[in-house]
Each structure stands twice: as C-alpha cells, then as structure tokens.
A and B are shown apart, each in its own frame.
Chain A
Amino acid sequence: MADSSKTGAGNGNGGGPVTFLEAIKQAMFEEMQRDPAVVLMGEDVGVYGGAFKTSEGLLEKFGWERVIDTPISESAIIGAACGMSYLGLRPICEMQFIDFIVCAFNQITNFVAKGHYLWNAPAPIVIRGPSGGGVHGGPFHSANPEMYFVHTPGLKVIYPSTPYDAKGLLKAAVRDNNPVLFFEHKYLYRRIKEELPAEDYTVPIGKAAVRREGKHLTILSYAAMMHNSLEAAEALAKEGIEIEVIDLRTLLPLDEETILKSVKKTNRVLVVHEDTKTGGIAGEIAAILCEKAFGDLDGPVFRVTALDTPVPYSPPLEEHFLPNTQKIVAAAKELAKY
C-alpha cells in the first residue's frame, strides 16, 4: 500500500499548503480513485513517477494496467488514448515536456479534435505536461505552444496559475467529454503553495478569475505571468494606479464575458503572456476588443510578451527574451496615460 502522504491520498486533509505540482498529483490520484475508467499514459510516468515526479506513487496504487509507461512515441500515446476513449475510458496523457506535444500534432489536431464535429465521436482525453521558461531549459524544454492548439476547433486549452486552479481544472478536464490540453508552467511547480479544500471540487473550464480589482486598467494574463502581473499591480498601487488583474485560466474557449465586463469598467487593457508575440492570445483579444468593445476603449490594447524568437538558453539571453515585472510596470504606466 502506498502511503497517503506520498500519493496525495486524502488530498488537503490537514496536510498544510501544497505545491502546484502536488495539486496536480492529487487531482490525478483522486480522479483515478473515483473512476476506474481513468488511466495515465506517458513516458516514464510509472516506475519513475514522471520526469517531475507528478505521478509518483500512482503505479504502486493503481497498477500496470492503469499507469502505463510508453515508448518515446508521442503520436502513439495520443492515438492510443483516443482509441481508448472510444470505449469509454478517460486517459490522461503526459507529455514529458510539453515541447514534445508537437510530435503528436497531427494526431491531436486532425484526429482527436475533429472527431466529435465530423462523426459524432467525442474523445474525452487529457493531454498534460510541463511548459514554459524561466528555468534555463533551453529552446526545446521551455516552450509555450498553447496557441497552435487554441487555433484548433474542438480542443479545450487550460493554463492555470495556482495550485487550487490546477487541481480543480485538471479534475474538470478529466470529467469533460472533450479533448483538453492542460499546460503546467514548470516554474510554478515547486515555487508556490496553497491550502486546498479537503472535499472534492472542480473549477469550471472556460471561466476567467478576477485576481485583483481595480479601476484604472485591466491586465489580462495567465500561468506564470499572472504572478508577475500581480506583482506589477502591487507596485503600481503605490503610485496610485489601480489595476484589475484577470487570470484567463482557460484560453479555449475564452471567457469573453469577464474580459468585456472589466474593460467596461477600466477602459484600458494590457495583455501579458509568456508566449511569443505574433499569433499569441493577446492579438486575438485585441481583435475581440476592437469588434465588441471599441467604444469602451480609451487607448490601444498593449501587449507585454516574449520576443518573437526561439527560447534562448543562456540566462542573460533568456531573461531578455522573457517578459518580467519591470516590463509590465513600464507598459502599464504608459497605458495609464491614455
């Protein structure tokens, strides 16, 4: 028997605050406990417990048939998960690093995503993995490839920023009847902690969260940049600029309602993301605001994003590449002038 402290059994019961990573582990553990149709597949998820130890203890608890170590074959992982889902299973697929999800691009965008629309075949699978930079992972272990998939009808794309959301959204993803991509910013894995409710809960997919109320401008962000945005808001509050910070949480489908409501109030919007600029969600949001809230805007939609380059390896290069709190503060000050 695996001990519960290792597997996260019994979730937050008096265990104190848990990390982002632990929250993900708890979500998988509890969903597998709740429903025998839930299985986990991926490279080194079993014996090793995952490259980041997100699935540690699951094999011991649930056995070989439910925790499946696969060959290094991303297309086969997604394909097999899709086939399994047709018989009513709900597989969770781990990409060892989310960068490798593109190896299964065709399987995801053409097979999994289109099935329900074309031939009435829902594929309830979750594809999750560590994403994002700031840990000097270099160009192939730091990517934010969410927008390839936000451009694909039929998928849902989640990118949480807190342990509470990570757990609740992952549980919601497992229970959703659609293919859900779940991005886990690896910078957050062990850096943030949060007390989680003892009881079972989910966080609704497709709903943004207002993290901080303000009236002068709205920052829309998600994942690790959420925390930088809050930091910037805190700094600017001291200068009298009150910023509303909204955590998008789900990128597809996007919560337009919450965004539009905030814009009505603040009239200024800054979008912050760690993804590169061209084709990032900020561009899409700017277009939505032009279409639906042009009259509410007092100034242009500003963007703070990564550079339009691959993620460079050397710390000074990566630091220059990534957005940070200073860049957000500077942009917000500029925007507040309108």
Chain B
Amino acid sequence: MKNVELTRQQHLDLYYYMRLNRAVEDTMVKLFRQNKIVGGLYSSLGQEAISVGTAFALEKKDWLAPMIRNIGALLVKGVPPRDIFTQHMAKYTSPTLGKDGTSHFGDLEKLHIVSPISMLGDLIPVMAGVAMAGRYLGQKIVAMTWIGDGGSSTGVFHEGLNFAATQKAPFVLILENNGWAYSTPVRRQVPLENLADRAKAYGITSYIVDGNDVADVYSTAKEAVDRARAGEGPILIEAKTFRRLGHAQHDPAEYVPKEMREYWEKRDPILLHEKFLTEKKLLDAKTKKEIETKIEALLSKDRDFAENSPMPPPELAEKGVYCTGDDCHKIRAKWERPVAEVTPPRSSIEASWVVEGFGRGKGSGGGTAPIHFGDTPATEERKENEDKLAPATPIETVSEKVGKPAAKVSKNGARGGRSAEKRAGKDAGATNRKAVAKVAAKDVRKGRR
C-alpha cells in the first residue's frame, strides 16, 4: 500500500519524466560516440525512478542539488534538456558558459538548484545550510540532495548529516544504493545490510524504498518532504537500485556479474511503471505515442540548438573569479517572517526550534544559567539502549515491505559473484558469498515466522 495516492496525471508525469531522462541520456550517448561530448559521460540508466520520483515530491520553492546521476531530478525541477546538452558539449550557451560540464550547474534565482562538485558528500552540509537559512527566513522550504552508497562513506556525509540533525533542518537526503562505487561493491565498502541504518547514528528518521518503483519512490519522498517541512528534522531515504552501466562511458564494468545485470535489466523502472500503467488502464497506445512524439520533438530541437551553439571565447577563462559587487549580484535575503523577530531588542533566546531544556532552564543549584540540559537518569539511558538492541525496529518493518527485491539483488549478486570470481579474483566472490549467507539466514528467519 502506498502512503500517498497518485492521480493519473501524476502517474503519467512520472512516466514522462523517466522517459525524458532516458531519452536525454540516450541522445548524449550518441553525441559521445560522435566525439561531441568534451569530457566524461555518466549514466543513470536504470536509476531514473529515483531522480524523477524524489524530485517530483518537491515544491517549486524548494531547493535541490543533483549528483552526477540525477539528470532526471534536474528535468523535473524545470531544467531544459538543451542546458544538459550544452553543458556536456562545453558550449558558450551552457549554464556555466563552458566553465564546467555534466550536471555541474545551478540556478540560485529561479529554479533553486545548487551545483554539485566532484568531491562526494560536500553537498550535504551545503544543503543543510540552505535548509537552515530557509527556516531562518521563514520560507518553509525543504532542501534535498542525493548521495551514493560510495559517497556515504565520506567524512563530510557524517559531519553534514549530524549537523543537520542537531539543527533539525528541513532536509531530505536520498541515498542511492546502486551497489557499486566505481568498481567496488557495496559489501566491500560498508558492513551494513541497509545503508539506511546510518540514520540511527544521527537520531533521524529513515526509509528504505525499492528504487526501481517510481510510485513507491515518489510516495515515500513525498511523505519525507512533508515531514521535514513540518519540522521533524532531516530524513534519510535509502533507495535500492543498480547501476546498469559503468562508472562512466569509458568503463565497461566487467567487474559486475552478468547475472546481476540481467536481473536488473528485467526490473527496468520504466518498463515496470509502463506495465503498471497499462494494467491499470492509465496509459494507452495513443497517449504513449503522444509522449514519445513530444520528447522526440523537444530533444531534436534542443540537440540542434546545442550542436549549433558556439564554443566560448578563450578570454572568458579570465573572467568571473570574483563577484564585483551589486553590479554583479544583488545579494538580498527574501524575508518571509518579520525581520523584527531576529533584530535586537526583540530578538531573544527564543528560536523557531528548541532543544529541550536548552536555553530555558535554571542552572544547577537554582542559579540562573543560560543553559541547562536537565538531569538524565542513568537508568533511562540504559533502557533506551536496550530498546535499540531489540530486534524489531521501524526501519526493519519498512525494509520488509521492499524486502523481496533487496533480497533478490543479493542472491543474484551471489550467483554473479561466482562468475565474477573467475574474472576478478576470489575476493569479490568471497564478499558476495558472505552477503548471501546473511540474506539467506534472514530469509530463513522470515520463513519461520
């Protein structure tokens, strides 16, 4: 059961954006093979449901920051395909005028998009800051970004998520677990069954979703966005999926077991959604054709635009290191709460969020102190820890909801693991075997229940 009911139009919109996402990337593969893409080309083939489904849960005023495999999120937010083509082709007409490529561009004014950098995890504190500023200004926005299974091991992932959690920032982090950090399988990166478990360390809510089921991704993201907006603090969503191509175009990804790939090809998110829509009679041949025609026309126009665009003039390289002032950018905060609330003498220790007992209580012994945490009885602490050790946690309940595909992934991974062993040596195989043993044991337990 989905938590959020989707309308037919929403279902069709999700379908349209996934098709558009794939078509944009297919077009770029063609451009790449014609040597028209200047640098590398990354693919989100098979992961479109995550980019599209999560970004679709945001409102226009909300902020997002894409990673390299989130072209779909950019399209949903309103970025025209031509911006993506010109970026990759390093054209003067690109959003960065040719100064950077791929999804590395943003728009502070209209679309509220923050550009990523190649170092993973850095967007997390940045988007936490966006969320905090939005709250401070009274804008009631949510900030969202994505991170991979690989990026979740960076130090700044921890710093950013922890800070966001202490601030209860309205921030949603999508952890796309596609199984591979370049050539390293997730089992060799993180000793966890579910990466969503990382949320426990920050005391924040998490979800696990089938990343190839766009409706499930959307309804989970919608719930998370609503909760974050309501002031519940940051939320982590682990979306389980698979990276169908290599790290980038240059990488044939021979380290990936064939069976694993085949399994996920059958679970293509667009095919799955199309099947669902057809069964529910939400999509007929005519509508499908209309969508395809619309995409074709748009991409053909935008591709022509990009191909016919000039390269930047060389001297542009010298320009833009500094903002020169008001003539360059008028930096003004958009207040949506009375400024007097944060201006002396009205400003006070009251804040729009409070840590219980912080800045309110008396000091020990009855003296006045600006801060008092209160006494935490040791017994309560212990009890809480015991509760945490108890087997049934909300996270596991959610994971059971999508437990099947997750388990299947690992099983296939294991079968593939043996073939991978022949190619890549026994290490990968050994890791996959361990993973399988774990999953198998879990399945048995489930069966017994």
Contact = CB atoms under 8 A, between A and B. Distances in A.
Nearest to A90: B331
A270 to B, nearest CB: 30
A115 B347 contact: no
B328 A177 contact: yes
Nearest to B118: A110
Interface in B41-79: 63
Nearest to B346: A63
Interface stretch (B22-30, B158-166, B398-406, B409-417): B158-166
Interface string A117-154: 11111101000000000000000000000000000011
Contacts of B159: 71, 73-76, 79
Interface string A54-90: 0000011111111010110111111111111111111
Interface string A165-208: 00000000000011000000000000000000000000000000
A156 B350 CA distance: 35
Contact of A83 (B118, B126, B137, B344): B126
Contact of A33 (B118, B322, B344): B344
B393 interface: no
Contacts of B320: 116-117, 120
B327 to A, nearest CB: 10
A37 interface: yes
Interface stretch (B93-101, B219-227, B277-285, B296-304): B93-101
B349 A63 contact: yes
Interface residues of A, number: 55
A61 B323 CA distance: 31
Nearest to B125: A79
A80 B132 contact: yes
Contacts of B166: 70-71
A85 B99 CA distance: 22
Contacts of A85: 129, 133, 331
A84 B115 contact: no
A116 B323 contact: yes
Contact of B323 (A80, A83, A177): A177
A310 interface: no
A115 B335 CA distance: 24
A83 B329 contact: no
A59 B122 CA distance: 28
B321 A153 contact: yes
Interface stretch (B102-110, B243-251, B429-437): B102-110
A66 B348 CA distance: 10
B129 A121 contact: no
Nearest to A29: B344
B114 A86 contact: yes
Chain B binding site: helix, strand, loop or mixed by DSSP? Answer: loop
A301 interface: no
B108 A86 contact: yes
A273 interface: no
Interface string B177-196: 00000000000000000000
B143 interface: yes
B115 A119 contact: yes
A62 B347 CA distance: 5
Interface residues of B, number: 66
A281 B96 CA distance: 32
Contacts of A111: 117, 119, 122, 126
B163 A118 contact: no
A71 B162 contact: yes
A106 interface: yes
B122 A75 contact: yes
Interface string B384-423: 0000000000000000000000000000000000000000
Contacts of A178: 322-323
B134 interface: yes
Contacts of B314: none
B40 interface: no
Interface in B316-367: 320-325, 328-329, 331-335, 339, 342-345, 347-352, 354, 359
Contacts of A70: 163, 166
A107 B323 contact: no
Contacts of B350: 63-64
A220 interface: no
B325 A121 contact: no
B132 A122 contact: no
Contact of B129 (A37, A47, A84): A84
B126 A79 contact: yes
Contacts of B136: 39, 65, 84, 89
Contact of A47 (B106, B125, B344, B371): B371
A164 B119 CA distance: 39
A36 B341 CA distance: 10
A85 B348 CA distance: 23
A122 B326 CA distance: 11
Given A59-B370, A65-B347, A76-B156, 13 more contacts: A33-B344, A60-B370, A62-B344, A73-B125, A73-B160, A80-B160, A80-B163, A84-B129, A88-B333, A116-B321, A118-B96, A119-B115, A121-B114
10 contacts: A47-B370, A65-B347, A76-B160, A76-B162, A79-B129, A79-B156, A82-B125, A110-B119, A111-B117, A153-B321
Shortest beta-carbon contacts, A-B, top 10: A83-B129, A79-B125, A80-B129, A88-B333, A122-B323, A73-B159, A177-B323, A76-B159, A83-B130, A64-B351
Interface of B: 63, 95-96, 99-100, 104-106, 108, 114-115, 117-119, 122, 124-134, 136-137, 139, 143, 155-156, 159-160, 162-163, 166-167, 320-325, 328-329, 331-335, 339, 342-345, 347-352, 354, 359, 370-371
